[in-house]
Amino acid sequence: MGAKGQVHRMSGTRLIWREWPILFLLMVCLILSTPHFVAAQINESLPTNFSGPEGTKADFVVFGDSQGSFGYVWPVAPNFDSMLRLVNEIDVPMAVHLGDFYVGDSFMAMNVDSQAKRFLSDMDVLDITWWPVMGNHDAAGSGWGVTKDIIFQGGNTYYSFDTEDSHFVVLDAFMPGYEHRISEKQLAWLEDDLNRTNKPHIFVLAHAPLYSLGDHFGGSLDGDLDLRDRLADMLVEKGVDVFFNGHEHSYASFEYRGLMQVTTGGAGGHLRSLANLDELVGKYGYKPDEITRFKTIKTLHYVCVTTTEDQIEISAYDLEGILIDQFILES
């Protein structure tokens, strides 16, 4: 018995030694996929007279990048559900998800059809109307068609809609053959759409930023600089108030060349640091005299937007209900 037991123990040891790379990979995936919260890292202090989200009323909420890290277990980040429950506590009629709903087409994930259904099951927690934006994870490989069919219910992946005082335009920066850029056809549609609106506030939303703040430099809408600059100039010319995007997994408010860009990529995807002002200018070539606001915060978060006849208030909250940024735009 003793000899056989010893042989059994040695066989088990050899098995573990042989399989340790697989076990190590599984452990890394589990660690990376564990729900987490990162305290806000803010590069600018807040005024002291702003209050938290309790009793908050807003016209809409914006958030993005809820994808998980291990698509066979968590195609959607586990803490995304917590964020949705916080949004439910706000007096707000609608939300926009800026894309990267789930991991997407990957050999380390369940099929996109299953991921999309899992995501919609999570979104059932939300008590309000919500609007989708196509992300790069959602569009990868076979994902664009599946995401279009399930999440966009077969409709267009770029579209516009109105509320009482605002016009919203959703763009698709990851159409097949036009990844990281807006096609000429979509650009012409956008110009026509903006010419038709008479709403006092205009919001344009896409997954990728016009101006990357370091995390996806060269992999945002700057994949084609000519198209990017034509799009940005058009938005300024047509009086767009805010361009919302995700893609970079942090919060940022960045006003550049007359356009306010708000990055909200903190709905659950693993957070990443963005560049500081010196890096934006020295490393990435942004012109300092054209930057009129720059603030980054590395934390999970969502953004509330409230409009009046001539003002827009932007308020960002982390998942502890702490106000991390707030400012007002005159419209």
Domain count, the chain: 1
pTM equals 0.85
Question: Residue 28 domain-assigned?
Answer: no
In the predicted model, is pLDDT for residue 3 greater than 80?
no
* Per-residue pLDDT at 2 exceeds 50: no
Ranking 79-88, 101-110, 199-208 by mean pLDDT, the lowest is: 101-110
Asked whether residue 72 is assigned to any structural domain, the reply reads yes
We report the CATH number of the domain holding residue 59 as 3.60.21.10
- The whole-number pLDDT of residue 7 equals 35
Q: What angle do CA 248, 265, 69 make, to 5 degrees?
A: 85
pLDDT (average), residues 164-178? 95
| Pairing between β-strand 323-330 and β-strand 251-256 as defined by DSSP bridges | unpaired
Whether residue 10 is predicted with pLDDT greater than 60 in this model: the reply is no
3-state secondary structure 68-129: EEEECCEEECCCHHHHHHHHHCCECCEEEECCCCCCCCCCCECCHHHHHHHHHHHHCCCCCE
Report the alpha-carbon distance of residue 149 to residue 144 in Å, rounded.
9
Question: Residue 109 has what pLDDT?
Answer: 75
Instruction: For residues 259 and 268, give the distance between their C-alpha atoms in angstroms, rounded to a whole number.
Output: 27
Q: Kindly provide the b/e burial profile for residues 6-37, where b requires at least 16 CB atoms within 10 angstroms of the residue's own CB.
A: eeeeeeeeeeeeeeeeeeeeeeebeeebeeee
Cβ atoms within 10 Å of 144's Cβ, excluding its own: 22
What's the CA gap between 98 and 176, in Å, rounded? 18
Tell me, yes or no, whether 282 lies in a domain: yes
Q: What is the pLDDT of residue 190?
A: 98
What is the tens place of the pLDDT at every residue in 188-244? 999 999 999 999 999 999 999 999 998 778 778 988 899 999 999 999 999 999 999
Distance CA(143)–CA(139), nearest Å, equals: 5
List phi, psi (to 5°) of 224.
-135, 100
Residue bearing the bigger pLDDT, 181 or 158 = 158
Q: Is residue 19 part of a domain?
A: no
Roughly what angle, to the nearest 10 degrees, separates helices 184-196 and 225-237? Answer: 0
Number of neighbouring beta carbons within 10 Å of residue 114: 15
Residues 30 and 65: beta-carbon distance below 8 Å = no
Asked if the structure places residue 20 within a domain, the reply is: no
- List the single range of 40-44, 105-109, 182-186, 252-256 with lowest mean pLDDT: 40-44
Neighbour count for residue 253 (Cβ, 10 Å): 22
In a domain, 112, yes or no: yes
Q: Which domain holds residue 83?
A: 34-330
The CA-atom distances, in angstroms, between 168 and each of 29, 174, 242 are: 38, 19, 10
In a domain, 311, yes or no: yes
Instruction: Note whether residue 313 is domain-resident.
Output: yes
pLDDT at 53: 62
Alpha-carbon gap, residue 90 to 12, rounded angstroms: 55
Query: What's the pLDDT score for residue 72?
Result: 75
